[in-house]
Amino acid sequence: MSQEYVIRSIKDVTAFIDKHPASRTSLLIVFIALGGVFVDAYDFTSLGIGVVQLKATFHMTPFEVGSITAMMAFGAFFGALWGGYFTDKVGRFKMFLLDLLFLVVAAIGAALAVNLVMLLAFRFLMGVGVGLDFPVALSFIAEFVSERRRGGNLNLWQVMWFVAASCTGVVVLPFYLAGFGNDLWRVAVGFGAVPALLILLLRFRFMNESAPWAARYVGLAEAARILQRTYKVVVKVDPDALSHDHAKSQKVNFFEIFNSKYRLRTLLISIICMTQSMEYFAVGFNLPTISSHLFGSDFIYAIMGAICFNLFGIVGASVGASVTKRMGVRHIAILGYMIVIASLLLFYIGGPNMSLTVSALLIGMFIFGHSFGPGAQGMTMAALSFPTRVRGVGTGWGQSMVRIGSIMGFYFFPMLVAAIGFRSMMLALVLVPLAGLITALLIHWEPIGHDPDVSDEAILYMTPESEEMSIS
């Protein structure tokens, strides 16, 4: 700890993070924060791969199957709304631990469910944990990583999602080959407690509170201690600043993200989050079913097909994360929407006589475009668009829009397939990314290169005259 830094304000804390180079420890902390996203994705997709066995266990109707999958989304909707609020109110670290406790208990309870009601209850609880985790994880990374690497590191959450979705099949496959039969879904769901518990222990061991949040709500002295522990340098508070350092009231205004300054970016975030979720949960969540439709009804095809399709997601998300700084979040979303629309149209135009190889490649192209573009950018935009005081609220709002889209997708897919057939459903689905594309073309908000903790907070201290000049 040879270097010494002096901080005098909240702005100095942000500047320190932006200028300080990443270390191995800081990269580890980013992945531990994103570990919750891995658990979230695994829990959301685990039932999709065992839905046939689940039907046999509880003799469920199609509506009940839809309710099982949608129940988790309902829980995530409420968890995201309130989780974002409490993330800003009580801090990032406490919520980091609480949400994973929800996920551990819910995964074990769901796996041991003896009836449909019990399964529904634990799936709802699991959803609450998922909804809590997204706002806190992305808010923390937005405040922990330097400005140069922030967008790319945030977009890694989509990579983590598709890695987890692929792992679902990898986990289930040996148990399927071992002949677990109708209990296969219990293995898939219950295994989610293992990574959740591991990530919980790692968070408790390695993570601290967000320094910018602590600077605002606890005090500069606590922020200095956090920076010192994290970066292994000496950080002191200027004595004059310390004498005037009073932690602000932890009052969070949920509706601030809808005021005149933020409403357009909130609208753009809402539309991207909702449309990307609808398109993914109408197609991506049902990859095992689609794989069976394309390759054959044997369960092994459902598992292997889903794993292969999710590899397209890993590649797309990785490419998106690598070009975030250069292209910007909005432009990546626009390009991704275009790829998704093209793949859906080509799939429909190809007709029922299209070769198996081409059909599979177009589904892969859909997953690539989604994970590269809007799939990642909605939540990344939410985490980058608001200052620390309401970042959790804004990220939680974005996640709640994701859950509304997923609920619609859960029901949208089976109902449309039953009514008009699989290929016609893919054509109708074009309207969803088209709505997102039009919105992204009309609203020109780009958070990359914009630090709301600097520019937005400065407005709070402007005189009426200077504020008027800045608007004009």
Per the domain annotation, does 247 fall within a domain? no
pLDDT in tens, 198-241: 999 999 999 999 999 999 888 899 999 999 988 888 999 988 87
pLDDT digits (tens, 9 = 90+) for 304-323: 787 888 899 999 999 999 99
CA distances from 351 to 85, 279, 341, 346 (A): 48, 20, 16, 9
Whether the per-residue pLDDT at 296 is higher than 90: the answer is: no
3 lies in some domain: no
Residue 249 token pair = 């009231």
Domain extent, residue 201, equals: 8-242+257-461
Decide if 174 is inside a domain. yes
pLDDT(347) > 80: yes
Q: Which pLDDT score, from 0 to 100, does residue 464 have?
A: 37
The reply to whether 467 falls in a domain is: no
Q: How far apart are CA 374 and CA 348, in angstroms?
A: 22
* Cα(168)–Cα(181) distance, integer angstroms: 16
What is the number of domains present in the chain?
A: 1
Give pLDDT, residue 249. Answer: 58
For the residues of 99-121, what is the DSSP string, one character each? HHHHHHHHHHHHHT--SHHHHHH
Inside any domain, residue 164: yes
**431 to each of 410, 428, 437, 438, how far by Cα in Å?**
17, 6, 10, 11
Q: Does any domain span residue 251?
A: no
Residue 368 maps to a domain:
yes
pLDDT tens-digit readout, 411-453: 777 778 778 887 888 899 999 999 999 999 999 999 998 888 7
pTM: 0.86
Residue 103 lies in a domain: yes
CATH of the domain at 295: 1.20.1250.20
